[in-house]
Structure 1
Amino acid sequence: MSKSRTSIVDIARAAGVSKSTVSLVLQGSPLVHEKTREKVNTIIGDLGYVYNRGAANLRQSRSKIIGIVVNDLTNSFFAELAVGMDMMVQSAGYVQFLAHSGESVDRQREVISSMRENGIAGLILSPARGTEVGDIKPLADSGIPVVVVVRNVPGAKVSRLISDNYAGAKAAIRHLISLGHSRIAFMGGFVDTAVFGERLRGYVDALLEANIPFAEELVIHSAPSRAGGVAAVERMMVFAERPTAALCLNDAVAFGVCDGLRSNNIEPGKGFGIIGFDDVIEAKTAVPALTTISVDPQGMGQRAAQLVLKQINAGQNIPESIVTSVRLVVRQSCGAPVKQLEELA
């Protein structure tokens, strides 16, 4: 018998049971006797039958599962983002299927494939590094509503929800300049992500606006993590002329920069000004409290969920593009004016 043409009827005939019994086994129903279940599963394995759970879900009823894939759950920003999504998804009577890609496009493909097999009604995706249009197109073509959040994928014909990275970075640099800083670093991030490019552009334009030359060596690349922030400080320490402040790609990097400064006997906020980006919950309670660009991660997660639910309920996927506003939240980490910093040093 050809494995590619094996059907539930074939399995039922080989097992000596009804078609409905095979269906119950495939669905994991507790109504089937254990010995019957074992017999059916053995025959399924022997015949090489593959259960299309997505098709089954469509036959049974409208799916109540929303897939959520984020690129870095170790970063508290994405954890808060997922919490916001879950709040909205649950209130609408859906459940979330949450997965972590770990910045791996291959892993991302695997989890999305698994989600499709389980019949998701929609997908919210914070893309891994290197995600291309071709990675998203099959989903969009299948009619599954997709919302890309945080990172954009240029050319993808799906909805997107991103923060105003450019305006946020520009506001941060303007604030540091108002405190008297002119040698300001940009720390953390991967060059091949849209978020890095947008925030770097805001950094550069704010410097040029104040007639401060852009110095390429002050863009210190590192992983967008706490460990990356520590590594960025170590690179900075070998500079003949060190910066006096830094805009960090995100809050995780900013916390790492604080760690790295302390290990070099520099007190964050007193000997060096720091601004993060995101405003995660721990930014308020950090020591010193972190000055940052507030993106409102939970609120962003809620809006992403609202967007995918809107498309599911409408029964049609009309791409929408939303850029959320951000704001500068001034706390202690950006420090006193430069003249005061020099007196304290």
Structure 2
Amino acid sequence: MKQPKVTVVDVAHAAGVSKSTVSLVLQGSSLVNETTRAKVGAVIRELGYVYNRSAANLRQSKSKIVGIVVNDLTNSFFAELAVGMDMVVQSAGYIQFMANSAENPDRQAEVIASMREHGMAGLILSPARGTTSADLRPLVDSGIPVVLVARNVPGLKVSSVVSDGHAGAAAAVRHLVELGHRRIAFLGGFNDTAVFDERMRGFRDALVEAGLDASDELVISSAPSRAGGVAAVERLLSMADRPTAALCFNDAVAFGACDGLRSARIEPGVDFGVIGFDDVIEAKTAVPALTTVSVDPQGMGRRAAQLLLKQINSGDFEPEALVASVRLVVRESCGAAQRMKREAVTA
């Protein structure tokens, strides 16, 4: 009687690990520690499991599944980014397989491994914090087209779609300077990410250009979330020489900053200038309406999906780097309207 074929699930069960971990071992991923790798390898040999790579590649080549992994779906920016991708992917006849890494590289590796098991045709990835080129190289070397969006991974030669964070941050600071602010802070974001570094350089370059203080005490890093914005403002308000305005890492931080200011009876847009970054849908309807650097997240998502489908259809994975232009959208939170009222009174 013919013995049933040993599967990845059988190996995972016998080794006491997840199916995704077995897949990572088969792919040679550096995310699996040596002890687990050895245990899985021993089970594979014991059960006689054979990894049919050619069959996996054949399934992948015929796949109509596009993997999409973002690092924070609770952030409106990434939700809008995903909507833009979905518009293009569905209209091209593909099905999207979406996952949220929650800024966890291990979780990211697991969901990517699961997507590979299902035979994805390509992957759009907004990398989790701490992702390295070594983490993703086995995936790239396997021949699956990859497009990075919103964030880059230094040293990884794949296509990418990012926004011009330096230009956006510089434009925001120049606007605050024009409004009369001379002590400006930068709030929120993780200081070990490339996108933080880019926006920070734009912030500092504009301050230096204006002959203003650009010291480290004006940079208050925190989680890039609404709660992170509240925490950053609490630290700002404890400063002896308190800033009068702030550029926030993103809109979520800006919303939190406004919450924190109100808790301290400081009215954003009147007593303190606030500028965000992204221009999510809620920015226009917030109170006060948020002045922000618009990066058009849905547009970025569409471009990332178009770039991936181009690579899938042509078989040409030559890296392309697209940098989306940005623009400052002036609303109420920066205090521009208040300045106009004052000028009208004194005219």
Stretch deviating more after TM superposition (236-245 or 48-57): 48-57
Task: Confirm whether residue 299 of structure 1 aligns to residue 299 of structure 2.
Answer: yes
Q: Which amino acid aligns with 2:199?
A: R
Shift of 1:6: 4.0
Match of 1:17 in 2: none
Q: Which amino acid aligns with 1:182?
A: R
C-alpha separation in 2, matches of 1:76 and 1:52: 41
Task: Confirm whether residue 110 of structure 1 aligns to residue 110 of structure 2.
Answer: yes
Shift of 1:191: 0.8
Alignment of 1:158-177 (within 5 A): 158-177=158-177
Match of 2:130 in 1: 130
C-alpha separation in 2, matches of 1:153 and 1:102: 17
Shift of 1:139: 1.4
Shift of 1:267: 0.7
Distance 1:140 1:270, change over 3 A: same
Q: Aligned residues, how many?
A: 302
Aligned residue for 2:58, secondary structure, equals helix
Aligned residue for 2:102, secondary structure, equals coil
Alignment of 1:161-240 (within 5 A): 161-240=161-240
Aligned residue for 2:238, secondary structure, equals coil
Larger Rg: 1
- Identical-residue share of aligned pairs (%): 73
C-alpha separation in 1, matches of 2:108 and 2:274: 33
Q: Which amino acid aligns with 1:132?
A: T
Match of 2:255 in 1: 255
Q: Which amino acid aligns with 2:284?
A: K
Deviations 1:47-91 (A, max 9, x none): 796997993682597100000000000100000000100110000
Aligned residue for 1:284, secondary structure, equals helix
Match of 1:79 in 2: 79
Deviations 1:155-186 (A, max 9, x none): 10110111000000000000000000010000
Structure 2 unaligned regions, length at least 5: 8-46
C-alpha separation in 1, matches of 2:258 and 2:198: 24
Q: With the length of structure 2 as denominator, give the TM-score of the two structures.
A: 0.82
Aligned residue for 2:247, secondary structure, equals strand
Match of 1:275 in 2: 275
C-alpha separation in 2, matches of 1:6 and 1:204: 58
Q: With the length of structure 1 as denominator, give the TM-score of the two structures.
A: 0.83
Task: Confirm whether residue 93 of structure 1 aligns to residue 68 of structure 2.
Answer: no
Task: Confirm whether residue 242 of structure 1 aligns to residue 242 of structure 2.
Answer: yes
Structure 1 unaligned regions, length at least 5: 8-46
C-alpha separation in 1, matches of 2:111 and 2:121: 15
Compute the RMSD of aligned alpha carbons: 2.6
Q: Which amino acid aligns with 1:87?
A: M
C-alpha separation in 2, matches of 1:319 and 1:301: 17
Q: Do the aligned residues in 2 keep the contact of 1:124 with 1:147 (CA within 8 Å)?
A: yes
C-alpha separation in 2, matches of 1:60 and 1:267: 55
Shift of 1:252: 0.2
